[in-house]
Homo-oligomer: A and B are copies of this chain.
C-alpha cells in the first residue's frame, strides 16, 4: 500500500486526489493546503484523509511514502527537494521547475536516494497520444516532415507563468514522447497584452538535426478553442484533434512521391498521393488513472516511470531556450538535450500497454454510456 501525501488542493489537486484514491494499492493519506476552505472541501470528499495547512507536517509523517505536489511552479523545487530529503518519492505537477538546473538537481537527488521522481505529463497517458506513439513505433508514418500543434482558447491568464510555460508545456511533452529525436534549437516569438502578466500569445519553431521541423502555437486570447496537431510523414499523415468526441485521430494516406534520379536534381519530378483516411478506435480509460497507477507501480518495482524527471528536465530546457529566443524576437537559441533511451523506457511502454489491455478486456463487458 502506497500512502500519498498531497500538497496543493486548488484546480488540479482534487483530480490527483480522486485518482490516487481509486488506484489499487494506494491511498490518499493526508492533504495540505494553506486555504482552510479548500481543506474543508478536501475533507468532504476524502473523509479518511487528514488535512493540514502545514506541508512540512506531511514530510515529517513516517507513514507517508510519497508526496504529490500540485502547487504554483515557483514552489515546486523547494517542496520536492525537501520531500526527497525526507525519503519520500515525488510526483510533481508540470512544468516541473522554473529552471533546468533545479530539475537536474532533483533528478540527481532522487537517483542518489533511489527514490521515484515522476512528472505529471498527463497527455502521455491519453488513449490518443498512446495510439499515435504505437503508429510511430511501427514506422507507419515513415520519416517525419513536421509536427505542428495549436492550443488556443480564451483562457485563464496565469499569474506566475506565461502562456508558453502554461500551455506549450503540454505540446512539448507530447512531442518529446512521440518524436524519435530531440530539438537542437528554437526560435520563439510572442507578445503580452496585459501589463503585469507574461506573454499571452506565443509561437515556437523547433529545429532538429534532421529536416524535421516542429511548431507550437499557444494563445490565451482566442475566441474559439482549438487543440489540433498535424504530424506529416513520408508515408502517412496524422491529424490529432483533441476536441473531437469520437474521432480524435485521423490517419491520412496522403503525400508526395519523388521520381527521377536525385543525383540530377533538376529533373526531380513530384507526384501526389491521395488515398483513404482512417480513424482508429481509441480505448476510453481516463489518462490520470493510468498515470496514478504508473506512479504506484514505479515505486513498488523501482522501475523508472514513463514520465520521469528526465522528461520534465527536457521540457524545461526547451522552455528556457524559448523564453530567451522570445525576448529577442525569434533569434534562434540552441538546446542541448541528451536522451537516456534504455531498457527501462521500453519496459515502461510495455507495462503501460499491459495495463490498458487488462482494462479494455474489462471494458468489453460493459455497455455504452446511456444516450439520453
Q: Which residues of B contact A211 (CB under 8 A)?
A: 191-193
Q: Which residues of B contact A330 (CB under 8 A)?
A: 187, 189, 205, 325, 330-332
A268 at the interface (CB under 8 A from B): yes
Known: A146-B201, A193-B211, A254-B223. A368 touches B155 (CB 8 A): yes
Q: What bracket does the count of chain A residues touching chain B fall in?
A: 35 or more
Contact of A371 among B155, B191, B277, B370 (CB under 8 A): B155
A372 at the interface (CB under 8 A from B): yes
The segment from A54-62, A255-263, A297-305 found at the interface with B is A255-263
Known: A258-B194, A265-B195. A225 touches B213 (CB 8 A): no
Known: A243-B245, A254-B223, A280-B276. A329 touches B187 (CB 8 A): yes
Contact of A278 among B230, B278, B329 (CB under 8 A): B278
Q: Are A222 and B213 in contact (CB under 8 A)?
A: no
- How far apart are A24's CB and chain B's nearest CB, in angstroms? 16
* A residues apposed to B, CB below 8 Å: 11-12, 47, 122, 145-146, 148, 151-157, 166-167, 170, 185, 187, 189-197, 201, 203, 205, 207, 211-213, 215, 217, 219-225, 230, 232, 237-239, 243, 245-247, 250, 252-256, 258, 262, 265-266, 268, 270-272, 274-281, 325, 328-332, 364-365, 367-372
